Structure 1
């Protein structure tokens, strides 16, 4: 772990995103609220927020930092859901790992909620994929 003891507490923000590729019928089910397990956006949002807040528990050398805000949003195409997570803090180190953890947990929650619609006759996932997970932006300075 990098020693950040002597670094100043500064406002920091990071946005990460990623997408899950799904069958068009599955995307339609999500958008129309027809997923048997429940509200996909609500569950994925909570998963993303929880992961962002607890990222230092799953990323061995990440610092536990006070998360002051997490925003989660969704965009759709015919065959994918894009999840975007913005994390904010006032701390000695950045929040990009927290934003990435949020994206991955949110996308995994989506996959878990819709897996029954994505499996083929052999129980495999020929279409489903998580891809394009990136840090879109980082900011350090005055809020």
Structure 2
């Protein structure tokens, strides 16, 4: 199975459809609920919902997911019925396969309940396909529409993963509040984004927060709240990070943990929000948000 442990949860929706072709008299049996085996539409709806909830047991490499909504609806036509499945979750991966599985099992159930009423060649399950998916990286983009310049003062040598269209200027400095203040003063207004790495813990030399917080003119507490929440599900030590974020003049300053994994997890957690923020600031057309 693919490792999704480092992907952020988001609200995800998938809609899939399929078509069952059947003679007109069979469509009428669906409409009235009078097949030999009972009400086929209601039975198939339950089958589809159960299938969505158990997709990980049916398809070997699918992840088990909490299913917050699963529903099956129909549109009856003269010689076919369209099956529509909608599945929703909050998870690190999508529910496309759950929606497709729901359509497939609902269609097979209808097929089974109609086959006593016609010849086998009169029934055909067709066009099972995904119509819509929302959530995750396809909806909450992780790539800027235009290149952004960023400065990263490192309190110790670390390699960060670059994501999106970001031109990065790295600088390594000592654990010195004076040097950090001087660098922030020099670089503010020249870089839209300044990331500090290190100094957010509880050690005697961890003074990044105390150094930068008095300079912040507009704090954005939600960024580091998201970072700590993401990290807390992976290590209990994330609760000890004191990172902060906010604007100093026109530069967004974010303080990341000094550990490579901590910095990586923080960026994963806040990257969609950062991309959205900078796209909005530059008045670039975007999907969702304050449009």
Cα shift at 1:40: 1.0
Structure possessing the higher radius of gyration over alpha carbons: 2
SS in 2 for 1:60: coil
After TM superposition, the score normalised by the length of structure 2 is 0.46
SS in 1 for 2:52: helix
After TM superposition, the score normalised by the length of structure 1 is 0.92
Aligned residue pair count: 137
Structure 1 Cα separation of the partners of residues 31 and 129 of structure 2: 24
The answer for the alignment partner of 1:70 in structure 2 is 70
2:36 and 2:116 in contact (8 A); partners too: no
SS in 2 for 1:88: strand
Range that drifts further, 109-118 or 133-142:
133-142
Which residue of 112, 131, 134 maps to 1:136?
A: 131
Deviant stretches of 4+, over 2 Å: none
1:40 and 2:35 are equivalent in the alignment: no
SS in 2 for 1:63: coil
Structure 1 Cα separation of the partners of residues 128 and 33 of structure 2: 25
Question: Greater relative contact order (Cα 8 A, min sep 6): structure 1 or 2?
Answer: 1
Q: What are the ranges of 5 or more consecutive residues in structure 2 without an aligned counterpart?
A: 141-291
The answer for the alignment partner of 1:122 in structure 2 is none
Structure 2 Cα separation of the partners of residues 54 and 45 of structure 1: 14
Cα shift at 1:33: 2.1
Q: Which has the higher strand share?
A: 1
The answer for the alignment partner of 1:127 in structure 2 is 122
Cα shift at 1:133: 0.7
| Alignment deviations for residues 70-127 of structure 1 (CA, whole Å, 9 cap, x no partner) | 12110011111111000000001000000000000000000111110122xxxxx122
RMSD over equivalenced CA pairs, Å? 1.1
